[in-house]
Amino acid sequence: MPARVWQALAGIIALLLAAVVGLDQWQARRGEASLFGLDLLGLGRSRSAAPPAVLPRSTPALDAAPPPPGAPRVAVIVDELGGRRDVFDMLREIRRPLTVAVQPGLPLSASIAREAARTGMEVLLDLPMEPYRYPELDPGPGVLLMSMPTAEIRQAVGAQLEAVTPAVGVINRMGSRLTEDRPRMRAVAEVLAARRLLLVDAYTSSQSVAYDEARAAGVRAARRQILVDHANGESGDRVRWDEVAGWAERRGEVTVLVHGHPLAVRLLREYAPRWEARGLRLVPVSQLAR
């Protein structure tokens, strides 16, 4: 056989051997065993000499990497504050940009509103409005009534805002009846427009015109989508909390209203890091107001 043929065969064999060795080392790089016991890249030495460090598990606090700016947003409003400190103290420990709604005329209303603002929470006035079945259902001190003329409505809203000075806006407390009335909701919106404050429609009635009247008056407004009411018990609350992430991921944002109660706040503390792990971002409600 001519010498040139032998040389060609030798070259082909060398190429095949190089290919096999290369394939073997590629397999070793993926963490699989070498077929020939080769360690040309020093992978075995590096694994045995320096095992990977075990990083400490981080706690679900503010040290997690922030979600990207375009992440779905969740605004959580905790209302019914001003009468007791325990719920507010639990909220402070969550250390997230929550929104609190403070009722007027209660013993701790002013101090809780000031302290919430100092700790970075957003504050709303939890503005009591007449519901159906009033006075059997009583929203509390300073309630806006259907019997009040619009001028009196304006005066009452202004006075209650002065009592909760850090408020960036209002949310209706109850009000299933009053929020259906255009003239009175227009009067509320006019006060907010003059002060450059926002309105959140708690949506206690499917016929509410609060959001529409606020927008018509040039007031930034948001509307509640999910309500968490501790009256349903823990299992009922969890059903509502479980809806939050799905809603935010489908729509890009969600506004959640939570009645202030130790059970609701305990569950909020549990769910907040879960949402962040899914890439959701907790924001003050003002960021969702249009």
HEC letters along 6-26: HHHHHHHHHHHHHHHHHHHHH
* Same domain as 153, residue 104: yes
Q: How far apart are the C-alpha atoms of 143 and 290, rounded to whole Å?
A: 26
Q: What is the pLDDT of residue 40?
A: 39
**Strand locations in 61-153, DSSP E?**
73-81, 99-102, 122-129
pTM (2 d.p.):
0.77
Q: What is the pLDDT of residue 107?
A: 94
Q: What is the pLDDT of residue 39?
A: 39
Beta strand pairing status for 73-81 and 122-129? Answer: unpaired
* Same domain as 42, residue 145: no
* Same domain as 110, residue 13: no
* Same domain as 78, residue 41: no
Q: What is the pLDDT of residue 67?
A: 54
The answer to whether residue 251 sits within a structural domain is: yes
Q: How far apart are the C-alpha atoms of 100 and 90, rounded to whole Å?
A: 12
The CATH number linked to 150 is 3.20.20.370
The answer to whether residue 55 sits within a structural domain is: no
* Same domain as 84, residue 22: no
* Same domain as 91, residue 18: no
The answer to whether residue 66 sits within a structural domain is: no
The answer to whether residue 68 sits within a structural domain is: no
In which domain, by residue range, is 92 found? Answer: 73-288
* Same domain as 146, residue 16: no
The answer to whether residue 51 sits within a structural domain is: no
The answer to whether residue 62 sits within a structural domain is: no
* Same domain as 246, residue 116: yes
* Same domain as 104, residue 36: no
Residues of the chain with pLDDT below 70 are: 1-69
* Same domain as 83, residue 184: yes
Domain count, the chain: 2
* Same domain as 268, residue 214: yes
Q: What is the pLDDT of residue 57?
A: 28
Residue 276 exposure: Cα atoms within 13 Å on the Cβ side:
18
Task: Assess whether the previous peptide bond of 67 is cis (omega < 30° from 0).
Answer: no
Q: What is the pLDDT of residue 232?
A: 82
**Strand locations in 84-201, DSSP E?**
99-102, 122-129, 169-174, 198-201
* Same domain as 95, residue 19: no
Q: What is the pLDDT of residue 70?
A: 82
The answer to whether residue 164 sits within a structural domain is: yes
